[in-house]
Amino acid sequence: MLNEVIERFRFQGRLVDQRPYGSGHINDTYLLTFENGNEEPGRAILQRMNKNVFPKPAALMENIMNVTAYLRGKILENGGDPERETLNVIPTKDGEACYVDAKGDYWRSYVFITDATSYDQVEDPEHFYQSAVAFGRFQRLLSDYPADTLHEIIEGFHDTRARYSLFEKAVREDQMGRAASVMREIEFLRERKSVADCFGELLDKGEIPLRVTHNDTKLNNIMIDNQTGKGICVIDLDTVMPGLVMNDFGDSIRFGASTAAEDEQDLSRVSCSMELFELYARGFMKGCGRSLTEREIQLMPMGAKVMTYECGMRFLTDYLEGDTYFKIHREHQNLDRCRTQLKLVEDMEKKWYTMQEIINKCK
């Protein structure tokens, strides 16, 4: 089956190796190696897209093709290397962005970025800083791109108001009989409903702009050059769509500035590191340059709070519904995940003035 799919793409050379690749849990990813007469073999990434997560694969690929073409032009204008600084799609032999097999599965391929690494965890603070610069630069390069021309790949992905409604529905229905045991967490979220409403209300009033956003700004979606240590390319563009820059910033903080694992059971170990918050803020602001409005900049701490609140709420919703969305490897794991996020929200509230001061210092 895999060889049949490989035959459909415009690969150069003779296939000499194919193997599963990466740590992603959504798409099936393979690394292909080709002998092409050069000293260095040719490499490509081949992926089967997950239609359950992304039910509109053709629209998704249209977004990626348009955004990467735009990025190539901007990178060339700036004297950069578009072969390494953005994803490059390898077309099918029919000139299409993806191939649909006999089962209706969608496949796509990218040029493999050599001599660069993505990291799953923040092992070196410099990597976190470099990811911030890269995501900020991604935002700046796309600041003039008309966001409303992109397809919404996952409807209401970061619509926190809608997420709150789903949370309350899960509490009412209480399918697993778990609500009574988590009333403290439920009340924590209810007391902060204004956090869920915040960005939606500002967007309704036209006080913040809709932008092209990545929507999955984790460290492992940045390729870091092995020689220079610089963040060179933003990858995994599946969720690129209209969104809010504060959410992209906030998701990185939620994930990267926490002092503990996402499912840590000892909440005394969970806090939001102000050192890592400042490191990321400096890098992100540097990457963004002057592309953000003053209102967006001032709302960066709220972005961190909103995304952490939203994620905690989603974990709790899933727990109440019987753990049907997020994979679990032990009982009550989603509840533990929820509790770490709520502890982070609480910690951010205690450090709110410090977070605002850091943003003012970094802008």
Helical residues (DSSP H) of the chain, grouped into ranges: 2-6, 57-77, 82-85, 125-141, 160-173, 183-191, 193-204, 245-256, 274-288, 294-298, 300-321, 333-350, 352-362
Q: What angle do CA 220, 223, 225 make, to 5 degrees?
A: 135
In the chain, what are the domains?
Answer: 2-114 (3.30.200.20), 125-362 (3.90.1200.10)
Q: What per-residue confidence (pLDDT) applies to 157? A: 84
Question: 359 exposed, middle or buried (CB, 10 Å; 0-12, 13-18, 19+)?
Answer: buried
Biggest CA–CA distance in the chain, Å, is 67
For the chain, what is the radius of gyration of the CA atoms?
Answer: 21
Along the 363 residues of the chain, how does pLDDT read in single tens digits? 788 999 999 999 999 999 999 877 678 999 999 998 777 789 999 999 998 888 999 999 999 999 999 999 999 999 999 999 999 999 999 999 999 999 999 999 999 999 999 988 888 899 999 999 999 999 999 999 999 999 999 888 889 999 999 999 999 999 999 999 999 999 999 999 999 999 999 999 999 999 999 999 999 999 999 999 999 999 999 999 999 999 999 999 999 999 999 999 999 999 999 999 999 999 999 999 999 999 999 999 999 999 999 999 999 999 999 998 888 899 999 999 999 999 999 999 999 999 999 999 998
What's the pLDDT tens digit per position in 115-166?
Answer: 999 988 888 899 999 999 999 999 999 999 999 999 999 888 889 999 999 9
User: What are the two backbone dihedrals, phi and then psi, of residue 280, each rounded to the nearest 5 degrees?
Assistant: -70, -40
The model's pTM is 0.93
